[in-house]
């Protein structure tokens, strides 16, 4: 019996995840994508991309007054990144309300400073320094929307249903 209904795509929380240039250079693309796949998130967009300084500055505009802003922009534009949209198929059951891909992805990623990130997290397992912390994840659903609009064009997104969904959500 299907008691739940998959909500319209627009209502589904989405996170923008990005493997930074060090993750690409260090051969960690497969490993990092695999962590999100194994968790059960649904991949809705994926590409290898060399970004401009303008785009990097817009993405990190909230940090523009920080002392590390110039080196952060150099770092993010130093080579290709892998851009991803991860979604969590939310059902309209009460029990699933408030469970979000944004917060959950941040937990998988771990603390900004890899020395403080727990073992088992991506940064805890794969990185040692804040300025080379291999991966980005949106910090709020609103920023998820903003970042996806910034990094992806309409035709680059895929609407699809995973055969895993009934095995992930009761």
User: Looking at the annotation, which residues are catalytic?
Assistant: 136
**Does 15 help bind ligand UDP (rule: CB under 6 A)?**
no
123 is in an annotated binding site: yes
Contact at 8 Å (CB) between 49 and 80?
yes
State the nearest-atom distance from the C-beta of 106 to Mg ion, in Å.
9
Beta bridge partners of 129: 132
132 is in an annotated binding site: no
* Piece in contact with ligand UDP (CB under 6 A), picked from 3-11, 22-30, 79-87, 128-136: 128-136
**Does 58 help bind Mg ion (rule: CB under 5 A)?**
no
Handedness of CA 52, 53, 55, 56 (dihedral sign): positive
Pick from 37, 58, 139, 156 the residue near Mg ion by CB under 5 A.
139
> How far is the C-alpha of 81 from the C-alpha of 23, rounded, in Å?
8
> How far is the C-alpha of 81 from the C-alpha of 9, rounded, in Å?
26
Handedness of CA 134, 137, 139, 142 (dihedral sign): positive
Pick from 34, 50, 64, 68 the residue near ligand UDP by CB under 6 A.
68
Binding to ligand UDP (CB under 6 A) within 44-63 occurs at 63
């Amino acid at each position: 019996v299907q008691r739940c209904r998959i909500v319209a795509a627009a209502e589904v929380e989405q996170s923008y995840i990005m493997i930074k240039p060090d993750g690409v250079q260090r051969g960690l693309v497969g490993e990092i994508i695999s962590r999100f796949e194994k968790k059960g998130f649904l991949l809705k967009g994926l590409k290898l991309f060399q970004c401009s300084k303008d785009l990097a500055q817009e993405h990190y505009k909230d940090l523009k007054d920080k002392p590390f802003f110039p080196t952060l922009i150099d770092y993010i534009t130093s080579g290709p990144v892998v851009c991803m949209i991860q979604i969590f198929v939310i059902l309209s059951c009460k029990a699933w309300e408030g469970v979000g891909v944004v917060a959950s992805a941040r937990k998988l990623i771990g603390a900004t400073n890899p020395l403080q990130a727990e073992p088992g997290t991506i940064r805890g397992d794969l990185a040692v320094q804040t300025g080379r912390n291999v991966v980005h994840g949106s910090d709020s659903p609103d920023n998820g929307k903003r970042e996806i609009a910034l990094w992806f064009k309409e035709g680059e997104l895929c609407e699809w249903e995973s055969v895993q969904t009934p095995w992930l959500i009761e």
